[in-house]
C-alpha cells in the first residue's frame, strides 16, 4: 500500500452508511470534490412488475479524489460518511490502476455487477474493444466468460461479461 504524500491528491474509499452512497456522492460533489460512485443496472422482480434501478457496484462505499494529508475534515463530516478506509495510522489510497479499470468498465456500457472478491484465477489483459488495456482475472460461469476487476483495499470485486476473442493471457 502507498503512503499518504502531502499535497498529492489520491483516490480514497469512503465507508458510508447503508444506502447513503448516492447522497454522499452528491454532497461531496457540492463541496467541490471529485466523487466516484460506480453503479450497475439491477433488475428486481416485484409482485406486479419488474423494476430497474442503478445500484452501487460497491455497496457501502464511495470513492473520492482528495489530499488526505490536509483535507480530511470536510470529508469525514459529510453526512453519511462513516470513515475513510485505511490502516490504524491513517487512510490508505486506492491504487490508481484499479480505479481507472473500474471507470473504464462503467464507461464501456458493458453488462456488469458485483462479484465476490477473488485473488486466484488466471490473470488476463483485454486487447481489443472498449475495455482494451484492462487487467483482471478470468472466470467462466455458465459458458460465459467474465473479467473480474478487484479493489484490493476493499477486498471487493466486480465482473464484466467479455468476448473471448478480445482476451490475452497476461
- 98-131: pLDDT as tens digits: 999 999 999 998 888 887 665 546 688 888 788 8
Q: Which of 91, 113, 136 is the last residue of a domain?
A: 91
Identify the domain containing residue 114 by its residue range: 96-169
Q: Would you state the pLDDT for residue 1?
A: 44
In a domain, 35, yes or no: yes
Distance CA 39, CA 96 (A): 18
**What is the model's pTM?**
0.77
Distance CA 23, CA 41 (A): 18
In a domain, 3, yes or no: no
- 6-55: pLDDT as tens digits: 567 999 999 999 999 999 999 999 999 999 999 998 887 878 888 888 99
In a domain, 118, yes or no: yes
Give me the number of domains the chain comprises.
2
Q: Which residues have C-beta within 8 Å of that of residue 135, sequence separation ≥ 6?
A: 97, 101, 123, 124, 125, 126, 170
Q: Would you state the pLDDT for residue 164?
A: 66
Does one domain contain both 42 and 87?
yes
Does one domain contain both 55 and 118?
no
CATH of the domain at 46: 3.30.70.940
Structural Rg of the chain based on CA atoms: 17
Pairing of strands 10-16, 122-126: unpaired
Does one domain contain both 111 and 150?
yes
Does one domain contain both 35 and 101?
no
Q: Which of 40, 56, 91 is the last residue of a domain?
A: 91
Q: Would you state the pLDDT for residue 19?
A: 95
Q: Would you state the pLDDT for residue 2?
A: 46
Q: Which of 76, 91, 106 is the last residue of a domain?
A: 91
Amino acid at each position: 500500500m502507498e503512503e499518504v504524500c502531502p499535497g498529492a491528491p489520491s483516490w480514497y474509499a469512503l465507508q458510508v452508511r447503508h444506502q447513503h452512497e448516492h447522497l454522499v456522492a452528491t454532497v461531496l460533489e457540492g463541496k467541490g470534490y471529485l466523487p466516484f460512485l460506480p453503479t450497475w443496472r439491477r433488475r428486481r422482480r416485484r409482485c406486479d412488475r419488474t423494476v430497474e434501478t442503478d445500484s452501487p457496484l460497491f455497496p457501502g462505499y464511495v470513492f473520492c479524489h482528495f489530499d488526505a494529508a490536509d483535507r480530511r475534515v470536510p470529508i469525514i463530516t459529510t453526512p453519511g460518511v462513516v470513515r475513510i478506509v485505511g490502516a490504524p495510522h491513517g487512510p490508505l489510497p486506492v491504487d490508481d490502476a484499479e480505479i481507472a479499470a473500474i471507470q473504464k468498465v462503467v464507461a464501456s456500457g458493458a453488462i456488469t455487477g458485483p462479484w465476490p472478491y477473488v485473488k486466484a484465477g488466471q490473470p488476463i489483459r483485454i486487447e481489443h474493444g472498449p475495455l482494451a488495456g484492462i487487467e483482471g482475472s478470468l472466470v467462466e460461469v455458465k459458458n460465459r466468460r467474465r473479467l473480474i476487476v478487484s479493489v484490493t483495499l476493499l477486498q471487493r470485486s466486480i465482473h464484466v461479461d467479455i468476448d473471448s476473442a478480445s482476451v490475452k493471457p497476461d
